[in-house]
């Protein structure tokens, strides 16, 4: 079994919520952030991540680990905020008592009060002058290591049948359930990349070969495939795959 975020192929979702202009044309220019609080939630999450107490895979896993009821009820940035709150407490950047007392304060005072800023920034705090530099570097996941990939281009492979994270029950993985047990073909090899199944649980980077694998629509969806000629491509790490025994 998987978690709610693993929703590829799921039935039941309605039309895509595409924003339209008054004349019904698709609006390609909706604002970057619909509300100020979206922008703030996003920016605070990035700035807190820059403190270095967790990596991107850990924060992704925290969003995926929200209780299913909350995951479904929350909008996108509400998920971010909830996961960030749990991370801040779990990683001891703030205590639950501090959190509760600030919540009491804002519930009493509402939105329009000026927060008390600390006179002194923590030495880990991301400074405005470093923002462009840090964004420009990013955080590449590729690692130059001497590992030969097992599989060759055009080789037939099968994705493993169960969630491949063997360290953690319900642990982070990038193998969506809709391809588990299905046959595909190695389309390309992309070098060795940090393995999120380990990295999301602070078990090291453990870089491993990453492939792009092509799956035929008919292999994934059977007779309900829209067109047997269509294909779906996923980027999958070597432990997610097995040789196709012929």
Restricting to residues 12-51, which ones interact with other proteins according to CB under 8 A?
A: 12-19, 26, 28-35, 37, 39-44, 46-48, 51
Residues 64 to 93 in contact with other proteins, rule: CB under 8 A: 65-67, 70, 75-78, 81-86, 88-90, 93
Contacts of 213 (CB under 8 A, 6+ apart): 157, 159, 179, 184, 185, 186, 187, 233, 234, 235, 236, 241
Question: How far is the C-alpha of 228 from the C-alpha of 167, rounded, in Å?
Answer: 37
Distances (CA, A) of 62 to 52, 168, 172: 16, 14, 9
Q: Which residue, 169 or 246, has its beta carbon nearer to other proteins?
A: 169
Does 106 interact with other proteins (rule: CB under 8 A)?
yes
Q: Which residue, 118 or 246, has its beta carbon nearer to other proteins?
A: 118
CB 149 within 8 A of CB 65: no
Does 160 interact with other proteins (rule: CB under 8 A)?
no
Does 153 interact with other proteins (rule: CB under 8 A)?
no
Does 175 interact with other proteins (rule: CB under 8 A)?
yes
CB of 243 to other proteins, least distance (A): 21
Phi, psi of 143 (to 5 degrees): -130, 135
Q: H-helix or E-strand containing 227?
A: none
Does 230 interact with other proteins (rule: CB under 8 A)?
yes
Does 182 interact with other proteins (rule: CB under 8 A)?
no
In degrees, rounded to 5, the angle at the alpha carbon of residue 55 between the alpha carbons of residues 208 and 167 is 55
Under rule CB under 8 A, how many of the chain's residues touch other proteins? Answer: 124
Residues 120 to 139 in contact with other proteins, rule: CB under 8 A: 120-122, 124-128, 131-132, 134-139
Residue 55, both tokens: 């990596």
Closest by alpha carbon to 187, among 136, 222, 224, 231? 231
CB 215 within 8 A of CB 176: no
Does 198 interact with other proteins (rule: CB under 8 A)?
no
Does 220 interact with other proteins (rule: CB under 8 A)?
yes
CB of 246 to other proteins, least distance (A): 26
CB of 64 to other proteins, least distance (A): 8
Does 151 interact with other proteins (rule: CB under 8 A)?
no
């Amino acid at each position: 079994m998987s978690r709610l975020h693993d929703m590829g192929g799921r039935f039941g979702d309605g039309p895509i919520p595409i924003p339209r202009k008054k004349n019904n044309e698709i609006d390609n220019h909706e604002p970057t952030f619909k509300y100020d609080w979206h922008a703030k939630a996003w920016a605070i999450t990035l700035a807190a991540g820059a403190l270095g107490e967790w990596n991107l895979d850990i924060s992704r896993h925290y969003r995926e680990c929200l209780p299913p009821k909350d995951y479904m009820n929350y909008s996108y940035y509400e998920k971010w905020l909830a996961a960030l709150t749990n991370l801040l407490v779990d990683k001891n950047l703030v205590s639950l008592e501090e959190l509760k007392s600030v919540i009491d304060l804002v519930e009493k005072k509402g939105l329009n009060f000026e927060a008390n800023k600390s006179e002194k920034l923590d030495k880990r705090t991301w400074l405005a002058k470093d923002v462009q530099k840090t964004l420009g570097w990013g955080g590449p996941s590729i690692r130059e290591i001497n590992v030969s990939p097992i599989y060759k281009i055009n080789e037939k492979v099968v994705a493993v049948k169960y969630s491949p994270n063997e360290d953690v029950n319900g642990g982070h993985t990038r193998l969506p359930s809709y391809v588990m047990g299905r046959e595909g073909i190695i389309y390309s090899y992309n070098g060795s990349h940090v393995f999120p199944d380990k990295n999301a649980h602070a078990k090291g980077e453990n870089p491993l070969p990453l492939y792009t694998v092509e799956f035929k629509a008919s292999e994934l969806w059977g007779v309900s495939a829209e067109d047997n000629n269509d294909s779906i491509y996923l980027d999958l790490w070597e432990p997610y795959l097995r040789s196709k025994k012929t």
